[in-house]
Structures are given as C-alpha cells and as structure tokens.
Amino acid sequence: MQLLTSGLRVFSWLTLGAALLLLAAVGLWYASGGRLLIVQSSSMTPKFSPADVVLIRPVQAANIVPGQVISYYNPNKLGQIISHRVVSKGPKNTFVTKGDNRPDKDLPVPESKLIGRVVAVAPGLGGLLRLLKSGYGIMTMYLLLSVVLSINVGRFIARNNPSYELYGQ
C-alpha cells in the first residue's frame, strides 16, 4: 500500500511539474510575440490538417522567402487568418501565396497583413484545445482539479492531525 501511495505522490508531482513547464513555455512563447493557431480548413493538407495547431513566429517581411508558410490577416475578410505557402514575392514586400491543397494562387498579401512564419505544427492538438475551451471541457477541468485538491487536503489533514485515523491499515 505504501508503494502505491508513494507512486501516486511521485506521479502527482511529475504531473504538476509538467503542467507548470507547459504553462511557462506557452507564456514565454506569447511574451516573445509568438502565436498558436488552430487550423480550420484543409487548404494546406498534407503539411497540416484541420484541428492541428500551428506555431507562428513574428518575422520581418524582408526575411520571407518563397517556399515558407506564412500566416496573415485575410485582406478581404476582417479578422480571418490564413496560413499558406509563399509562391513568390511581389513589389513593395507583397506576397503571393497558395494553399498546398488548392489549385489557384491567392490575391497578393501586403506586408501590413503579415503576422509571421509557421515554424512548427502540433498534429491534432487543436481538437484538445477546442474541447478544453468548451463548457464540458471547463467543467471537466474544474472537476479534476477539485478531486485532486480534495485528496491532497485530506492527506495533509490526516498526516498533520493525529486524531484522524486511517482505518483498514
């Protein structure tokens, strides 16, 4: 029984440490200007697919070369972000882009609409992020947090108060 208890304690600390490291990494990524976006369409399949997460690093327009995948605000639809491959550079730092899974090129993208360059892809992570942001995901996270907190508070009380006894041992 004691081996199981110490194993659970180690697992709890490792889980907490991993969660804190992940939180710190995401915070540093955002603080340095990076962004995470969930892919919504199949326009870049097979490079990335719907529900993948792309990591975007800010970059100067002069450093973009054909072949790289960039993310930019759609010049024709307010608030929409597109991530497509640069086919060529036009005059005055404009970019001609195209989705890998699309037959036609996009309209030229001005430098002012550039967000950054896609530097990494996390396959399937977007589905988990969407779930966590949903009502069910938030309720599940609160429930798990409550259970873990209750167990740890109960252990603390039992360990530090000799009047509480654990029966069955």
Q: Match 């995948």 to its residue by tokens.
A: 69
- Give the burial string for 65-97 (b: 16+ CB within 10 Å, else e): eeeebbbbbeeeeeeebbbbbbeebeeeebbbb
pLDDT (0 to 100) of residue 110: 93
Res 2: pLDDT: 61
Q: What is the pLDDT of residue 27?
A: 82
Count other Cβ atoms within 10 Å, centred on residue 127: 14
Which pTM value belongs to this model? 0.70
Q: Which amino acid is at 5?
A: T
Tens digits of pLDDT across the chain (169 residues): 565 566 667 777 787 778 788 778 878 878 888 888 999 999 999 999 999 999 999 999 989 999 999 999 998 888 899 999 999 998 888 999 999 999 999 999 999 999 999 999 999 888 777 777 777 877 887 888 788 778 777 777 777 776 655 555 5
Contacts of 64 (CB under 8 A, 6+ apart): 70, 86, 89, 95, 114, 117
- Topology given in CATH for the domain delimited by 35-123: Umud Fragment, subunit A (2.10.109)
